[in-house]
């Protein structure tokens, strides 16, 4: 792990040099971030570390800490560790990465000021813009520097790939426990507790709000309500829940039919298979959009095969009916952020490629490159609001409304794996971890 991290940091040092050169600067201060208060309150929001700090430093709780880089000398960590008996402040950790930094302990937040120099030739990267201005920084979050960093973040180092692989294990343990809790008859609220316990996370440490959805709740794409009551009838379950490892996220979804032999269960299986077929086809050099389009075509075929829409698959696709049932993107880049940066950014300079108008929710328009990590997460949902638009359409009579209305009670299906693009195709991090766990 230590040598993986050393290589990672060496690559980032080279990047820091490039950034300094293009910004005509001598140094970069990266601020981990400060606690943010709720409006008119003395309670703080959950702390979320500046991902750029976390990119260099494998520590997610370093509130009030700073990192200084000049691209040549050892990165210098100014670690905030006040004397405080109200809150726990992390002690300076001893870990595989700590020897790679120069260390200074800050006892008072203001002490950092004494370490600043030549501020007009120094970049500030962080969220506390007003504070940075008050300190006298002139180059605050310059877009050129962010573009470089974001682009590099979309191509993972071996250290990052290791972290992303590790994050899968905790998430999958949670998924196993949640699956058992669903079939055991537990409520969304209880299933969520089972997930958190098995994955050893709190509801504040998960990388995104768990989506624990029984029946039609699974048609609400970002459903996070958690009902304590059970519905009268149990039909289906969708769990979209992750975990993180040193800040790197897993983002995994599984869907189930309560009756493993019914038609909805078959549809879950078919969607799952389609996901794996798409992953098998992924190749360096092809645009992510082409796989999204392929999946839209596969959804059109499923609508035909399950007799939900009585038109040939090609026509379902031409008419865009599939988009009503699969209204989100195939997936997104994954890393320190669940929806990781640079999904649309084509190069270091920051050229932006928007998704096509017909697929506004697609979060990635990149050509695939080795060491990109992405999710592949097709879905098929029965969303009353979107279906409504077809009820008065000239093609309405081609829809099998009786069946669609029956499946509306099941909500929907999503199947989501996390993959890394390799020189020869794609490796499935989620399936790797499942195999290692013997499942």
From the list 328, 324, 253, 345, the residue with the least C-alpha distance to 292 is 328
Q: How many residues does the chain have?
A: 439
Q: How is residue 178 written in tokens?
A: 């949640």
Closer to ligand GLY at the Cβ: 161 or 171?
Answer: 171
340 counts as binding ligand GLY under rule CB under 6 A: no
Residues at the interface with Mn ion (CB under 5 A): 240, 251, 253, 375, 416
DSSP 8-state code for residue 101: S
306 binds, among Mn ion, ligand GLY, none (CB under 5 to 8 A by kind): none
Give the CA-trace dihedral at 186, 192, 193, 197, to 10 degrees.
120
160 counts as binding ligand GLY under rule CB under 6 A: no
100 counts as binding ligand GLY under rule CB under 6 A: no
377 counts as binding ligand GLY under rule CB under 6 A: yes
90 annotated ligand binder: no
Q: How far apart are the first and last CA of the chain?
A: 26
How many residues line the site for ligand GLY (CB under 6 A)? 6
Closer to ligand GLY at the Cβ: 116 or 208?
Answer: 208
> Per-residue string for binding with ligand GLY, 310-339, x by CB under 6 A?
----------------------------x-
377 annotated ligand binder: yes
Bridge-partner residues for 103, per DSSP? 77
Angle formed at CA 296 by CA 294 and CA 299, multiple of 5 degrees: 115
CA distance 342 to 169: 26
Angle formed at CA 183 by CA 177 and CA 188, multiple of 5 degrees: 70
251 counts as binding ligand GLY under rule CB under 6 A: yes
Closer to ligand GLY at the Cβ: 190 or 251?
Answer: 251
Closer to ligand GLY at the Cβ: 235 or 238?
Answer: 238
| Shortest separation between residue 329's beta carbon and Mn ion, angstroms | 9
Closer to ligand GLY at the Cβ: 239 or 313?
Answer: 239
CA distance 160 to 303: 39
From the list 342, 420, 5, 335, the residue with the least C-alpha distance to 148 is 342
| Shortest separation between residue 220's beta carbon and ligand GLY, angstroms | 13
128 annotated ligand binder: no
- Please give the radius of gyration of the chain, using alpha carbons only, rounded to the nearest integer: 24
Q: Residue with the closest Cβ to ligand GLY?
A: 240
From the list 89, 5, 105, the residue with the least C-alpha distance to 54 is 5
| Shortest separation between residue 171's beta carbon and ligand GLY, angstroms | 11
From the list 15, 6, 11, 28, the residue with the least C-alpha distance to 101 is 6
417 counts as binding ligand GLY under rule CB under 6 A: no
CA distance 127 to 124: 9
Q: How is residue 211 written in tokens?
A: 């989506």
208 counts as binding ligand GLY under rule CB under 6 A: yes
* Bind-site residues: 240, 251, 332, 377, 416
Write out the residues near ligand GLY by the rule CB under 6 A: 208, 240, 251, 338, 377, 416
* Bind-site residues for Mn(2+): 240, 251, 332, 377, 416
């Amino acid at each position: 792990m230590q040598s993986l991290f050393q290589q990672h940091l060496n690559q980032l040092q080279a990047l820091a040099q490039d950034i300094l050169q293009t910004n005509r600067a001598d140094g970069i201060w990266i601020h981990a971030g400060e606690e943010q208060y709720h409006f008119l309150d003395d309670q703080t929001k959950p702390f979320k570390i500046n991902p750029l700090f976390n990119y260099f430093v494998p520590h997610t709780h370093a509130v009030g800490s700073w990192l200084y880089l000049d691209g040549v000398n050892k990165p210098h960590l100014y670690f905030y560790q006040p004397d405080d008996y109200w809150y726990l402040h992390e002690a300076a950790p001893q870990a595989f990465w700590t020897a790679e930094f120069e260390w200074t302990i800050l006892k008072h937040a203001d002490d950092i000021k004494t370490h600043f120099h030549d501020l007009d030739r120094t970049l500030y990267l962080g969220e506390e813009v007003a504070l940075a201005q008050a300190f006298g920084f002139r180059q605050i979050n310059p877009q050129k520097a962010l573009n470089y960093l974001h682009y590099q973040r979309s191509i993972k180092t071996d250290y990052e790939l290791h972290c992303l692989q590790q994050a899968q294990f905790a998430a999958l343990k949670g998924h196993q426990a949640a699956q058992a809790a669903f079939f055991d008859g537990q409520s969304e609220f209880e299933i969520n507790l089972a997930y958190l316990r098995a994955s050893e996370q709190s509801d504040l440490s998960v990388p995104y709000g768990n989506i624990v959805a029984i029946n039609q709740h699974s048609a609400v794409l970002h459903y996070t309500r958690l009902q304590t009551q059970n519905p009268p009838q149990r039909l289906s379950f969708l769990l979209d829940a992750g975990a993180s490892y040193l800040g790197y996220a897993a983002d995994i979804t599984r869907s189930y039919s309560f009756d493993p032999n019914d038609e909805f269960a078959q549809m879950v299986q078919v969607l799952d298979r389609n996901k794996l077929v798409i992953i098998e086809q992924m190749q360096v050099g092809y645009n992510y959009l082409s796989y999204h389009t392929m999946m839209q075509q596969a959804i059109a075929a499923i609508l035909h095969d399950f007799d939900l829409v009585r038109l040939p698959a090609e026509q379902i696709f031409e008419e865009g009916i599939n988009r009503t049932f699969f209204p989100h993107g195939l997936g997104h880049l994954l890393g320190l952020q669940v929806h990781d940066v640079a999904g649309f950014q084509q190069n270091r300079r920051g050229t932006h490629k928007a998704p096509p108008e017909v697929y506004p929710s697609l979060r990635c328009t990149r050509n695939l490159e080795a060491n990109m990590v992405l999710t592949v997460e097709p879905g098929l949902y029965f969303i009353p609001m979107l279906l409504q638009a077809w009820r008065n359409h000239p093609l309405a009579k081609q829809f099998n409304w009786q069946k669609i209305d029956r499946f509306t009670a099941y909500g929907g299906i999503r199947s989501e794996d996390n993959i890394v693009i390799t020189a020869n195709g794609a490796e499935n991090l989620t399936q790797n971890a499942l195999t290692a766990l013997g499942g």
